[in-house]
A and B are shown apart, each in its own frame.
Chain A
Amino acid sequence: MKFRPIFNASVLATALSINGLASAAPSKAPTVEELWTIIQQQQKQIERLSAKTRQNEEKVEATGEILEKQVATSSGHGASGKTTIGGYGELHYNNLEQGDGEEIKEADLHRFVLFFGHEFNERTRLVTELEVEHGGVEADGSPLGGEVEVEQAYVEFDINDTTSAKGGVFLLPVGILNETHEPPTFYGVERNPVENIIIPATWWAGGASVSTNFANGISADFALHTGLQVPTSGSSAFRIRSGRQKISNASANDLAMTARVKYTGIPGLELSGSLHYQSDISQTSGDGADEATLFETHAVWNRGPFTAKALFASWDIDGDAAAAADGDKQDGYYIEGAYKLNKDFGIFARYNNVDGVRVQDEFKQVDVGFNWWPNEDVVIKVDYMDRENDNDSDRDVDGFNVGIGYQF
Chain B
Amino acid sequence: MSRWLYLFLVCLLPLTTHARGTYQEPSAFINDVFAETPPTAKRLWLTGELKKSASAILGHAPTSLRLRYWGRDARTAWVLEEIGKEKPITVGIVVNKNRIERVKVLVFRESRGWEVRHDFFTKQFIDARLTAARELDRSIDGISGATLSVRALKKLTRLSLHLHQQTPFAHDAP
Q: Which residues of A contact B (CB under 8 A)?
A: 61, 64, 67-68, 71-72, 75, 84, 86, 115, 117, 119, 121-125, 127, 156-162, 164-165, 167, 176, 179-180, 185, 207-210, 213, 215, 217, 219, 224, 254-255, 257, 264-268, 270, 279, 300, 302-305, 376
A127 adjacent to B111 (CB under 8 Å): yes
A71 adjacent to B142 (CB under 8 Å): no
A264 adjacent to B143 (CB under 8 Å): yes
A117 adjacent to B86 (CB under 8 Å): yes
- Residues of B near A376 (CB, < 8 A) are 59, 151
For the A-B complex with A84-B86, A165-B12, A268-B142 known, give 16 more contacts whose Cβ atoms are closer than 8 Å.
Answer: A61-B43, A64-B66, A68-B65, A123-B16, A158-B19, A159-B15, A159-B16, A167-B9, A208-B10, A209-B9, A213-B115, A217-B118, A224-B5, A255-B2, A257-B2, A304-B139
Interface residue tally of chain B, by bracket? 35 or more
Cα distance A405–B89 in the bound complex, in angstroms: 26
- Residues of B near A164 (CB, < 8 A) are 20, 111
B141 adjacent to A255 (CB under 8 Å): no
Cα distance A125–B20 in the bound complex, in angstroms: 12
B141 adjacent to A123 (CB under 8 Å): no
A266 adjacent to B20 (CB under 8 Å): no
User: Do A267 and B145 form a contact, CB below 8 Å, given A86-B85, A304-B139?
Assistant: no
B145 adjacent to A270 (CB under 8 Å): yes
Kindly provide the distance from the CB of B31 to the nearest chain A CB, expressed in whole angstroms.
Answer: 21
Contact of A68 among B64, B111, B115 (CB under 8 A): B64
- Residues of A near B5 (CB, < 8 A) are 224, 257
B19 adjacent to A122 (CB under 8 Å): yes
Cα distance A257–B9 in the bound complex, in angstroms: 12
A160 adjacent to B20 (CB under 8 Å): yes
Closest 8 CB pairs of A and B: A268-B141, A122-B19, A208-B9, A267-B141, A270-B144, A300-B144, A255-B2, A157-B16
A267 adjacent to B121 (CB under 8 Å): yes
Cα distance A35–B48 in the bound complex, in angstroms: 42
Does B34 interact with chain A (Cβ within 8 Å)?
no
* CB nearest to A223 among chain B residues: B9
* CB nearest to B118 among chain A residues: A217
Within 8 A of A (CB), among B118-171: 118, 120-121, 124, 139-147, 151
- Residues of A near B65 (CB, < 8 A) are 64, 67-68
Cα distance A282–B114 in the bound complex, in angstroms: 37
A124 adjacent to B16 (CB under 8 Å): yes
- Residues of B near A207 (CB, < 8 A) are 6
Contact with A along B68-97 (1 / 0, CB 8 A): 000000000000000001110000000000
Contact of B141 among A257, A279, A303 (CB under 8 A): A303
- Residues of B near A72 (CB, < 8 A) are 63
A159 adjacent to B12 (CB under 8 Å): yes
Contact of A165 among B13, B86, B121, B144 (CB under 8 A): B13
Cα distance A54–B23 in the bound complex, in angstroms: 38
Does B37 interact with chain A (Cβ within 8 Å)?
no
Cα distance A209–B12 in the bound complex, in angstroms: 10
- Residues of A near B64 (CB, < 8 A) are 68, 71
Contact with A along B15-36 (1 / 0, CB 8 A): 1111111110000000000000
B18 adjacent to A123 (CB under 8 Å): yes
